[in-house]
Structure 1
Amino acid sequence: MKLSVVILNYNVRYFLELCLRSVEQAVKTIEAEIIVVDNNSPDDSCAMVKQLFPNVKLIENKENHGFSKGNNIGVAQAKGEYLCILNPDTVVAEDTFSKVLDFAKSHANLGIVGCQLLDGRGKFLPESKRHIPTPKVALQKLIGNSKNYYTTSLKPYDIGKTEILVGAFMLLKRDIYNEVNGLDEDYFMYGEDVDLSYKVLKAGYDNYYFGETSIIHYKGESTLRDKVYAQRFYGAMEIFYKKHFKKNVLISALVKIVLSLASKRNPVNESGVLIKKETIVISDSIDEELKNRINSPVTFTSNVKDVQTQAQVILDTEFLSYKAIIAFIKTNNTSKQNTYRIWVKSSNFMLGSDSSVGRGEVVSF
């Protein structure tokens, strides 16, 4: 088997369904398996997977083991030559895996490959490619200088080496994952992707950013981004520093300063009020039920060129491919002040996110 896609889920039933629908389309031409590990979600995620995706291997944990252990449980049952660790709040294009696998097969000494991540409004997420967050680099970022935190030498569409990749999408050989003992279970949530990327580098492999395919990552769907988030995130970074950096007085003092400042800092909120003039539904048919659910003027069109500025755009997955949806959102991103919802017509829900730091919205009907 060529590929095992491992998706760890916790309480994001609708995002998981959309993710699985896109992944099923993306593995149609690949010898692949899809493994969902559920960390004891209180919603009906597991029932949904059993009903709608009978070919998906579902692992139902009886407790929430966290990100690292949950994924390791899934990888232990994987059979693919390659693994893709994938977040449930993502949407992939039909050719995402085939493109990344072709790139992986053509590069020797390859470690982890990541791709271009976009938020729900098509904005590029710079954490798609990062440098090692040494205490000095982390402190620089904390005071507003991100030059040495992100791999700014690579543009979003570029291909090239980078040190750290994000856990929302990480593709690598299963043998390499096992060689470095997988995700470190000392981390419950956050920091695991940094640690894995760094371990792969230390093992002598090269990590790559592959900017020729884009996926949507609805950030923050599994957790609220508040002070608790900040404390957990920087607590994870403390684990990273203790494991990988030599202990000396200067480093220890710098780490304490970074963590103290960071844990007290409020997460950044995106400013600006989005004014939505109308709703435009891109579909090949008019749906009265959807129309009745929307409290603004609604236009149904099959021509994507009809989209105006300051509109909420609803994209029908039965009319548009996932690749076309991702490309449309990326092309018509924040410059038009539009917001986007992906409509899964057969399941009567739509979802999207208007912010890189807040939770998304699900509307079921």
Structure 2
Amino acid sequence: MTLECLRSVTAETTEAFEIIVVDNCSDDGSAEAISEHFPDVKLLAEKQNHGFAKGNNIAASKARGDYLLLLNPDTIVLDAAIDNLVNYADRHPEARIWGGRTLFADGSLNPTSCWREISLWTIFCRTSGLTGVFPESDLFNPEAYGGWMRDTERQVEIVSGCFFLIRRDDWNALGGFDLTFFMYAEEADLCMRARRTLGATPRITPEATIVHYGGASETVRADRVVRVLRAKSELMKRHFPYLKRNLAIWLHKVFPLTRYLVGRLQVRGIRGEAADVWKEVWQRRGEWSNGFTEHSR
């Protein structure tokens, strides 16, 4: 999958660029294959898995370009998407962070290219089930911009780290990703800091479209959900006003329980399997409800 991504980058990008790949101690021969098929790529074959945040920080420290593009390995660049994104950034420098449109392999929309900031309202909608009942509603599914097909250009609050463009000077001014976030929500934290300290107004454009398969690096769903919920707990601890924080964390904590109880009411099969996942996540709430206990930059 990484080789396919690299082929698409080189085939669809005409502007001057360099590719830096951090191999997080993979054991499937990825580093050797990249070195063989792409000798011009700057390959950093690490001896340990640093996670998404530190891996990108390491790569960024080696970069020489004016722009940094973070690109997941489970992506395919389509129709000069990187060139188009950089050109878009040049036309909208005030945004300071830019992203594009992401699709699944079958061409359907993958809506995870951008998000709104997590808020007390988004947590309430998710925990109460309103988001699931009205997924196309921008009111009841606000975090995911419900109903917007990402087919128009607009300002957003958070650009996903899977396809994330920022000027190198701004990245350095922000100190890159906060290493507390091993994986998930690091780009949310960065965008929130950029908006508050740099006045950033991140933007999405459909001119830059890629395929993002999503979830390829984690195959155990319960483990993935635990990581996501832990990262969101940390976002609340860091960015929520004090008076809202405790209520938000409580609502967030009971979210897996409500999902499990609803899942138990469904017919057996796929729904039943989902209920089992949410039951495990609820049982493991001690792992994620308090965010990250050790902080480091």
Question: Could you state the TM-score of these two structures normalised by the residue count of structure 1?
Answer: 0.66
Aligned partners of 1:80 and 1:264: how far apart in 2? 47
Unaligned runs of 5+ in 1: 1-14, 273-365
Q: Specify which of 15, 18, 23 is matched with residue 38 of structure 1.
A: 23
Matches within 5 A, 1:78-89: 78-89=63-74
Offset at 1:105?
0.6
Q: Specify which of 85, 98, 102 is matched with residue 113 of structure 1.
A: 98
**Given the alignment of the two structures, is residue 150 of structure 1 paired with residue 144 of structure 2, yes or no?**
yes
Q: Specify which of 133, 151, 163 is matched with residue 157 of structure 2.
A: 163
1:117-174 Cα shifts (integer Å, max 9, x gaps):
1112212122223211113213313424252112347542101101111111001111
Q: Which amino acid aligns with 1:21?
A: R
Q: Is the 8 A contact 1:190 1:236 kept in 2?
A: yes
Give structure 1 regions of 4+ aligned residues with deviation exceeding 6 angstroms.
Answer: none
Matches within 5 A, 1:268-347: none
Aligned partners of 2:118 and 2:78: how far apart in 1? 30
Aligned partners of 1:121 and 1:262: how far apart in 2? 30
Offset at 1:73?
0.3
Aligned partners of 2:258 and 2:56: how far apart in 1? 30
Decide which moves more: 151-160 or 220-229: 151-160
Offset at 1:26?
2.3
Offset at 1:228?
1.9
Q: Which amino acid aligns with 1:19?
A: C
Aligned partners of 2:52 and 2:174: how far apart in 1? 17
Q: Specify which of 233, 240, 265 is matched with residue 238 of structure 1.
A: 233
User: In structure 1, what is the equivalent of residue 291 of structure 2?
Assistant: none
Matches within 5 A, 1:197-276: 197-202=191-196, 203-248=198-243, 250-262=244-256, 265=259
Q: Is the 8 A contact 1:114 1:128 kept in 2?
A: yes
Q: Specify which of 88, 94, 98 is matched with residue 83 of structure 2.
A: 98
User: In structure 1, what is the equivalent of residue 184 of structure 2?
Assistant: 190
Aligned partners of 1:253 and 1:44: how far apart in 2? 46
Higher relative contact order (CA 8 A, sep 6+): 2
Aligned partners of 2:148 and 2:195: how far apart in 1? 18
Aligned partners of 2:38 and 2:247: how far apart in 1? 51
User: In structure 2, what is the equivalent of residue 281 of structure 1?
Assistant: none
CA RMSD of aligned residues (A): 2.1
Matches within 5 A, 1:45-84: 45-84=30-69
Aligned partners of 1:188 and 1:136: how far apart in 2? 26
Aligned partners of 1:51 and 1:114: how far apart in 2? 31
Q: Specify which of 14, 17, 22 is matched with residue 8 of structure 2.
A: 22
SS of structure 2 residue aligned to 1:206: coil
Aligned partners of 2:164 and 2:145: how far apart in 1? 17
- Determine what percentage of the aligned residue pairs are the same residue: 31
Q: Is the 8 A contact 2:123 2:251 kept in 1?
A: no
Q: Which structure's residues are more often strand, by fraction?
A: 1
User: In structure 1, what is the equivalent of residue 122 of structure 2?
Assistant: 137
Aligned partners of 2:171 and 2:164: how far apart in 1? 11
Q: Which amino acid aligns with 1:214?
A: T
Aligned partners of 2:256 and 2:82: how far apart in 1? 36
Q: Is the 8 A contact 1:151 1:162 kept in 2?
A: no
Q: Is the 8 A contact 1:99 1:213 kept in 2?
A: yes
Q: Is the 8 A contact 2:236 2:245 kept in 1?
A: no
1:271-318 Cα shifts (integer Å, max 9, x gaps):
69xxxxxxxxxxxxxxxxxxxxxxxxxxxxxxxxxxxxxxxxxxxxxx
1:315-336 Cα shifts (integer Å, max 9, x gaps):
xxxxxxxxxxxxxxxxxxxxxx
| Higher gyration radius (CA) | 1
Q: Is the 8 A contact 1:234 1:262 kept in 2?
A: no
Offset at 1:259?
2.7
Aligned partners of 1:191 and 1:178: how far apart in 2? 19
Unaligned runs of 5+ in 2: 264-268, 272-297
Q: Is the 8 A contact 2:98 2:204 kept in 1?
A: yes
Offset at 1:262?
3.3
Aligned partners of 1:262 and 1:111: how far apart in 2? 35
SS of structure 1 residue aligned to 2:96: strand
Offset at 1:94?
4.2
Offset at 1:222?
0.2
Question: Could you state the TM-score of these two structures normalised by the residue count of structure 2?
Answer: 0.80
Q: Is the 8 A contact 1:230 1:262 kept in 2?
A: no
Offset at 1:257?
2.2
